[in-house]
Structure 1
Amino acid sequence: MAAHRKAAHRKPKQRLFAGSAARSAAALALAGAATATAATGSAEAEPPLTASQVRAKVDRLYRDAEVATEQYNGAREKAADAARSVDALRDEAARRTGLLNESRHALGSLATAQYRSGGLDPALQLLLTSDPDEYLERASYVEKAGEIQAGTISGIRRQVIGIEQVRTRAEDESAVLATRETELARHRKKITTSLSDARRLLHTLTAAERARYEAENGTGGTAGPSGPSGPSGTSGTRDTSGTRATTGTGAPSVAPTTPDSRAAEAVAFAYGALGKPYVWGATGPSAYDCSGLTQAAWRAAGVSLPRTTYTQINAGQRVSRSQLAPGDLVFFYSGISHVGLYIGDGKMIHAPRPGAPIRIAPIDEMPFAGATRVA
């Protein structure tokens, strides 16, 4: 009895939720944990960028776009070479095929003539003649005809082999061209993505902050023209804020004199391009990128420069900063991704970046990487 009373007064055990009640409790617990996590995540979210951080990031994106632009220029040049090679090989294959058809036609004519003569073996036809003079004449003809026929067949065989070799080379070059075009598309995407991100970031600034940034960088209120839409690489949205008289530094808009006549012509051309827009991949005449401008300036002086910054730096004699003379090419950044044309007095004319028109600027506004005097 005592044991029974002791058991009766013992507290019943608490039972956990079961069935649907248990599932509801678990759902509530998970929802609470998610809410807590979201609250923690919100609390730990990165603070918005300051105006100076936005400007720094925009500058970096423009730099990335310019690096990609020079890579794009190099890839486009290689793609153009591959396309020309493919066209030349296809033309050669067509020409050889025409010659092959002519040879086959000649061989067919010879076979037709033999058939019309009775289809007899030439040696047997020779035996049928009784005239000694005619026999000797025919013997000489048959010998020559055999040599011609054998030579024609051999020539046709060589032509067929040659055509197959040319077609194989054309297929190889076509594969190279496809690779170059893929590379072009990759660089183009990098450029457009960087410029799009830069524009988006600029629009996070207040109107006053954006105006200050544009004034400091000479962008004139535009975030950057689009790139080339055709082979010439000159299309794009023109920066209407700049004019041909723009210099960007208050420097005189008249080209300085220089004893080197070719350098003087190149510098004069660059002065004539002041105020024209930067368009990535463009080589003129209405727009340029940095290496497109220097290439066009020296072309006006009768000198052919390669297309990209990292090839132009090797297009002449290297000179030190203290030896600079008007017409020298001046390069910037460790990757040799920007170039300008030196005009004297520590200044250059260059195509800065999308949105900033061609202008005069001091060469110490960017990290100096070297200089080349065009040979």
Structure 2
Amino acid sequence: MDRLHNTIRPYAWGSRTAIAELTGRRPGSEPEAELWMGAHPGDPSRLDRGDGLVGLDAVIAADPEAELGRPTVERFGQTLPFLFKILAAGEPLSIQVHPNLEQARAGFADEESRGVPLDARQRNYKDPNHKPEAICALTPFTGLCGFRSPAAAAELLELLDVDELAPVVGALRTQPANEALRQALVQILGLAAADAARIVPRAAAALREAAVAAEKAGDHERAVELADYADVEKSFPGDVGVLAGLLLNHVRLVPGQALYLGAGVPHAYLHGLGVELMANSDNVLRAGLTPKHIDVPELLKVTLFEPQAPAVLRPEPVPDGHGEQLYPCPIDEFRLSRYQGGTDRIPTETPQILLCTAGTVELRDATGAQLTLRPGESAFLPAGAPAPEAVGPDSTLFRATVRL
């Protein structure tokens, strides 16, 4: 068992308090957005096996089979196939889409062949991997996920009573679903900056008025949804992403609930603290709510233009899993589960990262090794390590590993 020393990334949308409060620290002056756990070369975790802190990526590269196990290496290659995070959204993240594996490989190879630097602002593909992901709420968590039905999107846009959006509504009302959603997104993203600066504040004001009306009518859930859409404009005034977000489903998670997001599904996280697990990639195509690069043609190539309701995941007990509760995700590169309280036996057939998010967890194995984890602290267990017991009344321990 190796304690991990992890990096917190200070993106502008991060919370100034959430990760600090989780870890029992005094909040700093900068936003804290993501705490990374894993072997991604962008910010690998570090561990100490007696010679000082060394990156987990370097430890794995020195002996992949010893750290990952032969089955994992044969199935996924010589690096940890997942990236684990604590994500703290104080403001909305960009509306984004992730490529599938074939698209990522092709996009990465193309940009490499054209000599686009990895750190270039216009770079779309940072690596040749896909990025399916799951987010599990630690606090009430709000997001946008997947396209609404064209009819529902048209109804919401009509509510705004903005004449300039009539062509978007027309496409949603008259075209087949996939083409309707594609045309609507293209038209919104194609708005001139001057037009967006005029339209977006009017749309936000109309949403706020509709939220007040819904609350007066006793429809609290609808009022919250409309207010959440309107609040996005406070962080991104004049941004076409405010309008693009209206094409997406609104979702609110309570602590313990999760979402799985596959390739091509547009989404944005608006507010909350969560545990995020994904394939080991940093590939993002953006559609708005960001000052970063937006490549509309490439975005359209990877976006799945299909209406779909968000599939909220709840943890399911694993038969004979010694207290393990699994979040069922249709992906092999990662597997997300949790343990809550008591004494639980952690299997070690595969490489894994254990993260404490509540209480105190004592890890003890048959060799006498012990490791204490407090909220926000994590450990790496190589494949084949002695299986530890996790002891911690009133604790929560998340487990990130692979599925073979």
* Bin for the TM-score computed over the shorter chain: under 0.3
Per chain length, whose mean CA-contact separation is higher, i.e. which structure has more relative contact order (CA < 8 Å, sep 6+)? 2
Higher strand proportion, which one?
2
Larger radius of gyration: 1
> TM-score w.r.t. structure 2 length?
0.22
